[in-house]
Structure 1
Amino acid sequence: MEKINLEQKFGSFQEHWRPKTIAGLNGQEVKVVKVQGVFPWHTHAVEEEMFLVWRGVFRVEFRDRVVELHPGEMVVVPCGVEHRTAADEEAEVIIFEPAATRNTGDVIDEVYTAPLDAHI
């Protein structure tokens, strides 16, 4: 039951597209990630994901539309919906999703698939 300082958590790493778990609750994990560029298209068969922008501008792209998010804005991606994420400049994002959710969903990519046990 310790407070979590998001500024400190985001300041503790530099890499992009490698989510870090900062908390867990009710079978869910709260993760922080820095992003820049374009992430691969993928789906999560049984997991929903929530993206909340902390800093920067972040896009969640679907095959039929794009949702652009600014600090303080969020979107939930339903399970089974193909999507990819992107940011032209570095952005910092908070993710809420079930524990042990692979960041690349149904895709395994040697550059983008992050380890599941990265905690800070």
Structure 2
Amino acid sequence: MNAPVPIDLAEKFGLIHEHWRPRVAAKLNGQDVRLVKVKGVFPWHSHPDAEEMFLVWKGAFRVEFRDAVRELSPGQFIVVPRGVEHRTAADEEAEVLIFEASDVINTGDAPPSEYTAPVGETV
């Protein structure tokens, strides 16, 4: 077996120049570790068949639900249960890791839009 190579998050985030376009940094057990830069407000959506985990690496990030808003700082994460409507937002640019099944489309059940990222793009 070839020994795995460490992934440098700062280096990988430095290669991302768009907001709301997740890139796959690693794969494990049918899941992606996706890196995304965010700024502004993402559309409301849900993922009927998958949970999502958001881990803030840099900046301030929030997950909005219809009945609550959860503010996250670097080093904090949240798991959005399957089927729960939500949207994500950041007033200033933030860097976030997303852990989810490899076949999950970032906009979930929302209609395709400029926010819909191609599945499987790597960094």
Residue of 25, 29, 39 corresponding to 1:36: 39
Q: CA deviation at 1:71?
A: 0.2
Deviates more, 1:106-115 or 1:78-87: 106-115
Q: CA deviation at 1:117?
A: 2.2
Amino acid at match of 2:20: W
Amino acid at match of 2:16: F
Native 8 Å contact 2:16 2:36 kept in 1: no
SS in 1 for 2:87: strand
Paired residues in the alignment total 120
Question: Does 1:111 pair with 2:114?
Answer: yes
Question: Does 1:50 pair with 2:80?
Answer: no
Tell me what 1:26 maps to. Answer: 29
> Aligned Cα RMSD in Å?
0.6
Equivalent-residue separation in structure 2 for 1:117 and 1:78 (angstroms): 22
- Aligned residues with identical type, % of pairs: 62
Structure showing greater radius of gyration is 2
Equivalent-residue separation in structure 2 for 1:86 and 1:119 (angstroms): 23
TM-score by length of 2: 0.96
SS in 2 for 1:29: strand
Q: CA deviation at 1:109?
A: 3.0
SS in 1 for 2:7: coil
Equivalent-residue separation in structure 2 for 1:74 and 1:11 (angstroms): 21
Native 8 Å contact 2:102 2:120 kept in 1: no
Tell me what 1:92 maps to. Answer: 95
Moved segments of 4+, more than 6 Å: none
Tell me what 1:15 maps to. Answer: 18
Gaps of 5+ in 2: none
